[in-house]
Amino acid sequence: MRLAKVRAGTRLSFVVSLLGIATVAGLLWIGVRAQSSIEAIDHSWSNFAAEARNLERSVYELQSQIGYGGYIHNFKNYVLRGDRHYLDSLAEGKVRIENEIAYLKGNLRDESAQSALELLERTFNQYERGLEEALNRGVGSIEELDALVRVDDAPALKALDMLQIAIESRVESQRRASRDALTDARNSILAGVWVAAAIVIFMAIILYLARRADQQNINLQAALAHSDQLFENTPDLMIYVSGDRRILRVNAPSRAVIGYEPADLVGTSVDCLLTERDRERFAEYLASSGGSDNDAEAHPVADQFSTLTRTGKEVPVEIRVSRSTSSDGPISIVSIRDVSQRIQLMNELAEAMEGAAAANEAKTQFLASMSHEIRTPLNGILGILQLVETEEVPQEVARKLSIAKESGFFLLALINQVLDFSRIEAGKIELSEEIFSPVALLDGLRSMFMALAKGKGIEFEVHELDDADVQLEGDYTHIRQVLFNLIGNAIKFTEIGGVVVSSTIEREGDQRCYLEVSVSDSGPGIPPENVATIFERFGQTDMGRAKGGAGLGLSISNELTKMMGGTLRVDSQIGKGSKFTFRIPVRYLPSEERSIACEPDLSDHSAAPMAILIAEDNSVNQMIIRSMLEMDGHEVTIAKDGRVAVDLVSKQKFDLVLMDVQMPNMDGVEATVAIRKGGLTAHELPILALTANAFAEQRARYLSAGMQDVVTKPIRHDLLRAALMKFGTIVDSPRASAKEDREIQTETGNIDTSQVAEQLALLGADVVANLAVSLEAKANSLIGLLSAPESSPDVMDRAAHELRGMVTNFGLVEVASICSELEFSEQNEAERLALVARLRESFDQGMRELHELLADASKP
């Protein structure tokens, strides 16, 4: 093939040379022909010009004989003078006239010329007759002679003019013909030159392409030689396989991989290299590598097979197939790589990884188990210490009890950090997206740490965002945990001055944004050599070790921040303090997506009275919602579960349904689906979800089931009004002018006093006190279910959910938080009992504070 390409290039050069010689010969032939044509044209024109001059002379001669100045002149002189000379001239003139007319007739063939010449002949004939008559009669005077020989020769003169014009026209026509012939000759020469030039250019292009082809051919030969070298020297076994799976070519590594000489394999079937069990699968694999013949990588995915060596030993190999073409047609290029060492290393690595994973899992399980096992008795110890602290004991004993309690809480914080650390290391931290208010988040943190800051005598400021209604979607729980650690550290290390928390929202586009919170303190600062290590596990400064702690707080915060896609950085100066900046990506909620809890206060208006069905299984919540609705003039019907709600809707007409999501027998989502299947549309009967679960995915689930909006618990009267006004006629609130908020002053952090104040303003102190008694009885029953070993997970989840819904109406935020943890997070038995113990302690403390608030509110 390569020799054929070289010969093809030689033949092309020979053809181009012949074409050049032919072009030169053609140019010469065209030149000779053109020169001959020009000479012929010149000769023809010369002959014609001579003939034209003769014709003009003949006409001139005839013109000289017309009238009295010629033929007649000689006759008259002869008659009058009798001189024979004139008679001879007359005879010569007659001969010339006859000769000239004959000459003209022979050369001027057109009809008009012939007619003119005949007219001339008649005129001269008239001259002859006149002369003969004059000779025969004899003439006495000149006048008589003139009268005899007078002839009207005007037509003859005109005929001569016509002959002259005809001759000139013929000359002009011949001149044009000669000129055109010369032009054609020149054009032929020019065309020949252009054709020759085109041929020369074409030949130049062909020569250029031929040289390029030769160069490419040289490069191809080099590339083929390089390819052959690579083929022979590659460490993988390479085989060219024909369409009938016969081996065409094998490289040298066949000796090392399978023990065969390349020559021994050529012509045999490729199947002989594979084990019996792999041959059929390899045939399918080879067939699937098809594609077009020009596909350079038709089967890029390698597959694993077992090949047989010459000694019969099985060797695991990795085979890759690609398609190509050769002079013999389509071929498959099979690459075989020995992977026995790699498989051995991978097996060893897998065993090592399994061992490491098992050891790490054992360590994690040990840490988790020990943490929970230690927390269970520790919660009991802390509970007893707090109970004893409420009793009257000597001051010294109270001081020791306080130290013991603080040490216990410090130990509990360390255990919680170790548990968080083990969860992060085991990859068991799950991120969740939920809607939250950054203003409410920071306000809650301010409430938590304000007492601690005041106890140390330092300032604690939280700068609020400009937009108080902004809502974000992100991992609220872990964002709050990181900020809790940062603020707690700042207060712990600050002895003089204060701590300042500020926040900004940096928007990028319509919804993507970053929440950035900075925590600045006036503490001792961090030495430069420790700045790079404080985010490492167990990394502490000397001051940190002096203050106590395990050195896990910042490490956990940094790990959580990275998991959420954010950054945590620190700027610090010795003696001036530190600034920690926490930046996290969140989604900015446009106004139409924000939950009802952030809508504006519309307390001066309400919806016109409607017939409303409340589907709620909790009696305390039933009383609160009924009181809110009846206060605005609505007619209220209660359904204790979803099944009853569906039955009531089918029998009575309601304007709107408030549907609790979690109820026994049939939950709110199932009830909504059943109502919609019954034929009632959203326009005919709006359904609003009542739930404490207002996360984005849950809200979407409720709306897709057929609900129109979501009202979050705890229920606020003004926000419930706002929700109802979306689906009814807006009127002035009947109690707008009579509404009076009660202000409650408390130092507790366990109760949201604004929620209690709203209930008091709405229902009055006596009603709220009765509801608190009902709450306490119902809550004790639910806590009993949570602590019972025989309670199933579903029963405990429902109990935690129901308890959370009740206590939020009375502002017991800490109890609600523990209920959420019981409901949404997984715990083992020890963890659950520890949480229930915390729940019992927090609930009892919260109820004591609630009763105190209600007692103060009942005072005149």
3-state secondary structure 594-632: CCHHHCCCCCCEEECCCEEEEECCCHHHHHHHHHHHHHC
Q: What residues contact residue 632 under an 8 Å CB cut-off, 6+ apart?
A: 606, 607, 609, 721, 733, 734, 735
Question: How far, rounded to the nearest angstrom, does the alpha carbon of residue 656 sit from its chain's CA centroid?
Answer: 44
What pLDDT does residue 145 have? 64
| pLDDT at residue 294 in the model | 44
In the numeric block, the tokens 């549907």 are attached to 659
pLDDT value of position 391: 62
**What amino acid occupies position 681?**
T
Q: Read off the pLDDT of residues 21-61 as tens digits, 9 standing for 90 and up.
A: 777 777 677 777 777 777 777 777 777 777 777 777 777 77
Comparing CA positions, the residue from 75, 163, 73 lying closest to residue 120 is 163
Could you tell me if 441 and 479 are in contact, meaning their C-beta atoms sit under 8 angstroms apart?
yes
Measure the CA–CA gap between 530 and 522, rounded to whole angstroms: 18
Q: Which residue has the higher pLDDT, 294 or 20?
A: 20
Q: Are 372 and 830 in contact (CB under 8 A)?
A: yes
Residue 16: the pLDDT is 65
Nearest to 838 by CA among 375, 373, 367: 375
Q: Which residues contact 150 (CB under 8 A, 6 or more apart)?
A: 130
**Residue 184 parent element (H or E):** helix 154-233
Top pLDDT among 579 and 293 is at 579
User: Residue 74: which of 118, 127, 119, 141 has the closest Cα?
Assistant: 127
- Of 76, 68, 121, 115, give the one whose Cα is nearest residue 94: 121
Distance CA 766, CA 764 (A): 6
What's the confidence (pLDDT) of residue 858?
Answer: 62
714 prior amide bond cis, ω within 30: yes
pLDDT in tens, 791-806: 777 778 778 878 887 7
DSSP class per residue in 215-247: HHHHHHHHHHHHHHHHHHH-SSEEEEE-TTSBE
pLDDT tens, residue by residue, 534-559: 666 555 555 544 444 445 667 778 88
Q: Which residue has the higher pLDDT, 486 or 304?
A: 486
* Exposure of 310 in the CB half-sphere (CA atoms within 13 A): 11
SS (H, E, C) 298-359: CEEEEEEEEEECCCCCEEEEEEEEEEEEECCEEEEEEEEEECHHHHHHHHHHHHHHHHHHHH
Q: Look up residue 320 and give its amino acid.
A: R
Q: Is the full-model pTM beyond 0.75?
A: no
For the stretch 208-225, what's the b/e string if a residue is b when 16 or more beta carbons lie within 10 angstroms of its beta carbon? eebeebbeeeeeeeeeee
Mean pLDDT (whole number) for 558-562: 85
pLDDT (tens digit, 9 = 90+) per residue, 380-390? Answer: 565 556 556 55
Q: Which of 191-200, 203-212, 410-419, 736-745 has the lowest mean pLDDT?
A: 736-745
Q: What is the mean pLDDT of the chain?
A: 75
Residue 435 has pLDDT above 60, yes or no: yes
pLDDT tens-digit series, residues 234-283: 777 788 888 787 888 888 777 777 777 877 778 888 777 778 887 888 88
Helices and strands of the chain, counted as H and E runs = 26, 19
Per-residue model confidence as pLDDT tens digits over 187-233: 877 877 787 788 778 878 887 887 888 888 888 888 877 777 777 77
